[in-house]
Amino acid sequence: MAGVVFGVAGLGAVAVAGWLYLGGRGPGSSGPGPRPGSTQARDTAAGFSVGIPEGWQASTGEGAYGTVYRPAGGDRSAGIQIVRATEDTLTACEVLRDTTAELGKYSGYREISREEVGTEGCEQVYEFDDPATAEPAAHAIVRLVVAADDTRWVVLAFGPDTDVPLVREHLTTAVESFRVD
């Protein structure tokens, strides 16, 4: 499951799928921190900080697809992934349309929704059920945030489809607390 979630994130110059402009200029270098039950993690090499659930940490060995945070102890059932987006000539929904065409090639992929958000954004929600494993299907929500310095970042939260509200909470915390250095 994780291989497909991250493998898909490497597609194209942008990564996997959803984009959201946060009302004009989005997160900057100041503002509210993470919600209760979360902690602010910093990736100095990539130049950002983000709110992640307490007890989570940066995952080693998954750096080819941005920065990945997972529960401590090797639990791979959930995560938050941050990838700097370099494609800036396509609109958010054009990127989603193109990426969805690639995602649709996987037999366990099912798009739940893809819709415009605001005047400049789009969000994609999908599930991936890997028939080769006994793990529950993964539920993923992806957005793009535009930082105060105009850089674009893909924020992906995923976890078991048996806990969709928690996946949404993780994404919301990450997006609200995301800051560039």
pLDDT by residue (tens digit) across 127-136? Answer: 988 888 888 8
Q: Are 42 and 34 in contact (CB under 8 A)?
A: no
Structural contact between residues 42 and 52, judged by C-beta atoms closer than 8 angstroms: no
92-103 and 2-9 helices, crossing angle to 10°: 140
Average pLDDT, the chain: 77
Mean pLDDT of 3-30: 36
Q: Which of 150, 157, 153, 152 is nearest to 173 (CA)?
A: 157
CA atoms of 155 and 144, how far apart (whole Å): 6
CA 94 to chain centre: 18
| Prediction pTM value | 0.79
Q: How confident is the model at residue 8 (pLDDT cuts 50, 70, 90)?
A: very low
pLDDT score, position 38: 92
Q: Is the dihedral of CA 90, 96, 97, 103 positive or negative?
A: positive
User: Of 7-11, 70-74, 93-97, where does the model show the most confidence?
Assistant: 70-74
What pLDDT, in 10s, does the model give residues 91-122? 767 766 676 677 788 888 998 998 877 665 67
